[in-house]
Amino acid sequence: SKTVKSDIEIAQEAVLTPIASIAEKLGLNESEWEPYGRYKAKVSAHLLEKLDADGKIILVTSINPTPAGEGKSTVTVGLGQALNRIGKKTVIALREPSLGPTMGLKGGAAGGGYSQVVPMEDINLHFTGDFHAITTAHNALAAFIDNHIHQGNSLNIDPRRIVWKRVLDLNDRALRHVIIGLGGKTNGVPREDGFDITVASEIMAILCLSLSLEDLKARLSRMLIAYTYDGEPVFVQDLQVEGALTLLLKEAIHPNLVQTLENTPAFVHGGPFANIAHGCNSILATKLGAKLGDYLVTEAGFGADLGAEKFLNITARAGKFTPNAVVIVATIRALKMHGGLTKDELKDENLDALAAGMENLACHIDTIRAFGLPYVIALNHFITDTDREVALVNEWCAENNHPMALSKVWEDGGAGGEDLARMVTKVIEETENHYHPLYALDDSIEEKIQTIVRKVYGGAKVEFSSKANRQLASFKKNGWDKLPVCMAKTQYSLSDNPKLLGRPHDFTMHVRELKISLGAGFIVALTGSVLTMPGLPKHPAALDMNVTADGKVTGLF
Ligand code: ADP
């Protein structure tokens, strides 16, 4: 049966349409896009200024992720395919996967089953080279900083207070802390440094938040790189390298066009972390997709407490657009884990655990309502779900008046998402949209964080460490307090304790540290520890990957 095939087997059997006909379907003329081989293309970012009609923007988010898997990307792709099937011209926008998780824990990430974007191998490996360009721009800046110090340090940079590290798109824990500049006078000035993964680079976040090449350059020039011996901040513009950095990104800024298994147009562009950054594909891809289609479906990383909150408080504000609806993905398996089961117990029917786990979904629904947006719950169906379990979710939604549809896009592609597609277009047409961000940029940093903790997480209060308190004062003094807040929190729980599943109440959030991303334009609030350079597990996914003599890829999920 088809359901036992792996994602890569399904992707390899797909009949792809030449990218030229996808571009044609979108109404693009030859000067507006450029082929990158047979099945990939870049669409000009400049097109944004030329097109005026705006389609509807649909955000796909989910309950708190569990190791049982939620299938957000799968539903995003499937919903896009389904909308096309019911006659709505739809474009999809997704993040580009990082090689860290691909070679490490997860394997590839381009949707799943019969709802995938293709060519899957390319998207998961080097694709159109954007991550390479971002890595190079990031490391070029690091080299410019070290060279500046080596050549006399006229900016008076304190080598102990450089906040700009180096990056690599791999999981490599051995590079978290390094000493550079060893070897004597001709080899630079020795100092402590470290590597982050490319998706944690502020340049990745900036690329995804920029509205044009000019905006990209302005954001790059504002980035904080170090402090002087007198404690004064030093910015990229002080080094005068924003031109060179922008140059390195001049192709990467253009959204990449691919297709789904059913030839629905899809942008795959950018992929910032969803904790220390905002976790969404580029605004350019989202806005361009919405202009080229009547509907644009996109997703944001992790659950609605992180991804949707940031999409609605940070991304939509930066992109100056109004989202039209939110799809909240839930699975019976994950809900049962929120209801207290372990992963091994999920195969058996358990209505009590499922009923208890609905609390987690309820919290995320409240969040989307707090933003004033229409929503639909998508129950991502697994073949192990029992009829009684599905009925329970149905009844709960009906009793509480929540629009809901069963999604079978993983097993049936777009055909399995038509109910969901009809429900989404219905709520967009029939429900009033009162979208508004949850806080004003003029609120103090403390107030902004308190608003998120109370209205989104359902927590009681926020405690700031003494370090965070010192940083609050210094950010305020530097005039950096009028930016939105980007929360770095565990994705597993609504609280800052990854073990507290379901819907915890009356908890206190602990803000350990703050970080300023002036180019991206947000203040990162770190709760708990966040690894910006992950490590590999004992059995990395890479061990199961291979390529045959004739170039066929195996094991990439
Ligand atoms: P997320 O975006 O939430 O991380 P993905 O859509 O990437 O999740 O899916 C993660 C994995 O789970 C993929 O390998 C996908 O094929 C699988 N998956 C998703 N939905 C289903 C489903 N309904 N049944 C079986 N497997 C699924």
Tens-digit pLDDT profile for residues 49-70? 888 878 999 999 999 999 877 8
Taking alpha carbons only, the member of 275, 325, 321 closest to residue 301 is 275
Closest-CA residue, ligand 1 atom 9, reads: 71
On whether the CB atoms of residues 258 and 474 are closer than 8 A, the answer is no
User: Side-chain half-sphere of 460: how many Cα atoms within 13 Å?
Assistant: 5
Give the Å distances, CA to CA, from 358 to 17, 124, 403, 467.
Answer: 41, 34, 15, 37
Q: Is residue 95 annotated as part of the catalytic site, yes or no?
A: yes
- What is this structure's pTM? 0.96
Q: φ and ψ at 554, to 5 degrees? A: -130, 155
On whether the CB atoms of residues 523 and 74 are closer than 8 A, the answer is no
Task: Find out whether the beta carbon of 112 lies less than 6 Å from any atom of ligand 1.
Answer: yes
CA distance 543 to 466: 44
On whether the CB atoms of residues 544 and 106 are closer than 8 A, the answer is no
Closest-CA residue, ligand 1 atom 5, reads: 71
CA distance 64 to 303: 5
**Which of 73, 74, 81, 94, when mutated, tests ligand 1's pocket best, judged by the most ligand atoms within 8 Å of its CB?**
74
Please state the atom number of ligand 1 nearest to the C-alpha of residue 70.
Answer: 3
CA distance 444 to 141: 32
CA distance 296 to 285: 10
Give the Å distances, CA to CA, from 429 to 61, 219, 234.
Answer: 20, 37, 50
CA distance 265 to 23: 8
Task: Find out whether the beta carbon of 111 lies less than 6 Å from any atom of ligand 1.
Answer: yes
CA distance 459 to 333: 25
Task: Find out whether the beta carbon of 381 lies less than 6 Å from any atom of ligand 1.
Answer: yes
Task: Find out whether the beta carbon of 70 lies less than 6 Å from any atom of ligand 1.
Answer: yes
CA distance 255 to 237: 26
CA distance 303 to 60: 10
On whether the CB atoms of residues 100 and 169 are closer than 8 A, the answer is yes
Which stretch of DSSP H or E encloses residue 175? none
Name 57's Cβ contacts closer than 8 Å, sequence gap at least 6.
286, 290, 296, 298, 321, 322, 323, 324
Which stretch of DSSP H or E encloses residue 486? strand 485-488
Please state the atom number of ligand 1 nearest to the C-alpha of residue 112.
Answer: 16
Integer Rg of the chain from CA: 23
**What ipTM was reported for this prediction?**
0.99
Cα 90 to averaged position of ligand 1 atoms, centre (Å): 21
pLDDT < 50 regions, the chain = 1-2
Name 535's Cβ contacts closer than 8 Å, sequence gap at least 6.
104, 171, 172, 173
Taking alpha carbons only, the member of 320, 251, 330, 311 closest to residue 93 is 311
Copy the structure tokens of residue 28. 């693009």
Average pLDDT, the chain: 96
On whether the CB atoms of residues 328 and 417 are closer than 8 A, the answer is no
Copy the structure tokens of residue 336. 């049962």
Please state the atom number of ligand 1 nearest to the C-alpha of residue 557.
Answer: 14
On whether the CB atoms of residues 303 and 64 are closer than 8 A, the answer is yes
Q: 108-122 burial string, b = 16+ CB within 10 Å, else e? A: bbbbbbbbbbbbbbb
| Percent of residues in the chain assigned helix, strand, coil, to nearest 5 | 40, 20, 40
Cα 191 to averaged position of ligand 1 atoms, centre (Å): 43
Pairing of strands 265-268, 256-260: antiparallel
On whether the CB atoms of residues 284 and 253 are closer than 8 A, the answer is yes
Q: Is residue 66 annotated as part of the catalytic site, yes or no?
A: no
Cα 70 to averaged position of ligand 1 atoms, centre (Å): 6
Q: Is residue 302 annotated as part of the catalytic site, yes or no?
A: yes
Q: Is residue 72 annotated as part of the catalytic site, yes or no?
A: yes
Query: Quick check: helix, strand or coil at residue 108?
Result: coil
Copy the structure tokens of residue 83. 């909308």
Cα 252 to averaged position of ligand 1 atoms, centre (Å): 28
Distance from chain centroid for Cα 29: 30
Give the Å distances, CA to CA, from 232 to 156, 222, 235.
Answer: 10, 14, 10
Given the residues 33, 164, 311, 382, select the one marked as catalytic: 382
Q: φ and ψ at 182, to 5 degrees? A: -80, 160
Given the residues 110, 274, 316, 356, select the one marked as catalytic: 274
Task: Find out whether the beta carbon of 73 lies less than 6 Å from any atom of ligand 1.
Answer: yes
On whether the CB atoms of residues 326 and 375 are closer than 8 A, the answer is yes
Cα 9 to averaged position of ligand 1 atoms, centre (Å): 15
Given the residues 127, 195, 396, 410, select the one marked as catalytic: 410
On whether the CB atoms of residues 491 and 484 are closer than 8 A, the answer is no
Maximum alpha-carbon separation in the chain? 74
Strand partners of residue 399: none
Task: Please tell me the predicted confidence (pLDDT) of residue 4.
Answer: 67
Name 494's Cβ contacts closer than 8 Å, sequence gap at least 6.
64, 305, 360, 363, 457, 458, 459, 500, 503, 504
Cα 332 to averaged position of ligand 1 atoms, centre (Å): 13
Q: Is residue 74 annotated as part of the catalytic site, yes or no?
A: yes
Running DSSP on this structure, what letter comes out for residue 95?
A: P
